[in-house]
Amino acid sequence: MSIASLSAPQVQSMLLTVADAVIAAEPYLSEADRNLGDGDHGIGMARGFRAVKEKIQATDPSEGVGKLFSHAGMAMITSMGGASGAIFGTVFRDGGKAIAAAPALDAPALAALLQGALDGVVARGKAKPGDKTMVDALHPAALQAAAVASLPLGDALLAVAQAAEDGRDASKAMIATLGRAKTLGEASIGHPDAGACSIALILRTMSDFAQAAAA
């Protein structure tokens, strides 16, 4: 059985589960960044998601699913600092804004959320697919979400999480042209981008939550 949609209280609980997963993945995410950057990605993400937990626990879910995501994004922007805080916070803030009117998170809302997130990140960071950034996981995830928008949310999330993981894996073969890793040139080949690892982890955790909610 696949769940058709998640209510605002369920999305609140999903975001807390995502936060715990990112915090637990701090060593993995920092290791990914150590291969290509300065090794602090897990630290920044864990800091951001500790702030997300605090903010989301204090949010009344009757504010709506969009507000839950955008509050999470603002918590990241104000707590993480730096370029990546702004970029990852934008994923949640602009994604949430794109579904401000949604009464629940269903597959069409997921597609709108990911497209809003992608548009916001690209407007802010100017990364193109193939630059070896988190966009290489987010872009295929947004495309897949649009393609499966007629499915129940649980099935849509399974496909979207897979697309993000495929994008993360495809980033291994790319040469970094943005961010700290660009100075490595061809030496950046062979490792996945750290931000793409984060996006894949977030979407896989959302999918796992939706599969468990249907059981």
> Applying CB under 6 A, which of residues 8, 15, 18, 44 lies at the interface with ligand ADP?
44
Residue 129 in the binding site for ligand ADP (CB under 6 A): no
Q: Given its phi and psi angles, is residue 193 left (phi above 0), alpha (psi -120 to 50 degrees) or beta?
A: beta
Retrieve residue 128's tokens. Answer: 């193109």
For ligand ADP, which residue has the nearest CB? Answer: 195
- Binding-site string for ligand ADP from residue 156 to residue 195, where x marks contact by CB under 6 A and - marks none: ----------------------xxx------------xxx
- Minimum distance between the CB of residue 184 and Mg ion, rounded to whole angstroms? 13
Contacts 24+ apart (CB under 8 A), 83-88: 83/125, 83/179, 84/41, 84/44, 84/195, 85/44, 85/48, 86/124, 87/121, 87/124, 87/125, 87/134, 87/195, 88/45, 88/48, 88/134, 88/195, 88/198
- Binding-site string for ligand ADP from residue 76 to residue 115, where x marks contact by CB under 6 A and - marks none: ------xxx--x----------------------------
List residues binding ligand ADP (CB under 6 A).
Answer: 33, 37-38, 40-41, 44, 82-84, 87, 121, 125-127, 133-135, 178-180, 193-196
